[in-house]
Amino acid sequence: MTRVLVVEDDRQLVRALRINLQARRFEVDEASDGGSALRLAAARKPDVIVLDLGLPDMDGVDVIKAVRGWSRTPILVLSARHTSEDKIRALDAGADDYVTKPFSMDELLARLRAATRRREAPPESPAAAEFTLITTAEFSVDLVARKVRRGERTVRLTPTEWHLLEILLTHPGRLITQSRLLLEVWGPTYSEHTNYLRVYMAQLRRKLEADPSRPRYLITEPGMGYRFEP
């Protein structure tokens, strides 16, 4: 049984979440503020955490940072905030995904399932044997040999394209923020250069996607970042 910790101070929403999650055989723990969320996260070791960003005692982003100090439990953020900066702060602090309020229960459950599936996937390290070869209907990538193929053809990537692709492929399904990609690939002084990302992602799509203008695998989340959809 999957154990989920719901951190939310809106009692009606907590009730709706509990009923829906229990009906799908999740075991549910509840916290209505950041302090009790951290205590329960440590005591109950949930498989996944659903976290509201607007809590009475703490900023939800600080809850994420605290949990990430000792745990890799997937965190799905609920955000009523409409600016993408808050979501980006949450993702950069270590959240795995977000759902914007108001959300449909089906959407939340789909994101929860995806988050727990990723947790059960092999570790996010290219060294793990099962994780060295990533194959889609369109292309295959050998992360150790650093080879990309489309059918019989070898695809040549520049070191920068490779670096970007590697980060996305080793986090399947996960939204990686623009700032994280810029930091990891270009370094700390390039955090504003989102145009670099657009250029390089367009190049990768031309090399890897059947229809680069309507990508199937390398997905843009406008204003937020990019996602490899396996």
Distance CA 119, CA 72 (A): 8
User: One symbol per residue from 98 to 117: x for binding Ca ion (CB under 5 A), - otherwise; what is it?
Assistant: --------------------
Residue in the structure block whose two tokens are 């990723």:
118
From the list 2-10, 21-29, 69-77, 222-230, the region that binds Ca ion by CB under 5 A is 2-10
Q: β-strands 2-7, 26-31: how paired?
A: parallel
- For position 142 contacting Ca ion by CB under 5 A, the verdict is no
* 165 class by beta-carbon count within 10 Å (0-12 exposed, 13-18 middle, 19+ buried): buried
Q: Distance between alpha carbon 211 and the CA centroid of its chain, in Å?
A: 24
Which pair of structure tokens corresponds to residue 190?
């390039």
Distance CA 144, CA 132 (A): 6
- For position 86 contacting Ca ion by CB under 5 A, the verdict is no
Which pair of structure tokens corresponds to residue 215?
């990508």
Q: Which is nearer to Ca ion, 52 or 86 (CB)?
A: 52
- For position 47 contacting Ca ion by CB under 5 A, the verdict is no
Q: Which of 69, 31, 34, 29 is nearest to 55 (CA)?
A: 34
Q: For Ca ion, which residue of 54, 126, 173, 212 counts as binding (CB under 5 A)? A: 54
Number of shown-chain residues binding Ca ion (CB under 5 A):
3
Q: Which of 67, 96, 63 is nearest to 177 (CA)?
A: 96
Distance CA 151, CA 176 (A): 28
Contact 3, 47 (CB under 8 A): yes
- For position 52 contacting Ca ion by CB under 5 A, the verdict is yes
User: One symbol per residue from 173 to 212: x for binding Ca ion (CB under 5 A), - otherwise; what is it?
Assistant: ----------------------------------------
Q: Which is nearer to Ca ion, 9 or 27 (CB)?
A: 9
Contact 182, 197 (CB under 8 A): yes
Q: Which is nearer to Ca ion, 5 or 218 (CB)?
A: 5
Q: For Ca ion, which residue of 9, 27, 142, 221 counts as binding (CB under 5 A)? A: 9
Q: Which is nearer to Ca ion, 19 or 80 (CB)?
A: 80
From the list 36-44, 46-54, 191-199, 213-221, the region that binds Ca ion by CB under 5 A is 46-54
- For position 33 contacting Ca ion by CB under 5 A, the verdict is no
From the list 38-46, 50-58, 159-167, 211-219, the region that binds Ca ion by CB under 5 A is 50-58
Tell the smallest beta-carbon distance from residue 8 to Ca ion (Å): 6
Name the site residues for Ca ion (rule: CB under 5 A): 9, 52, 54
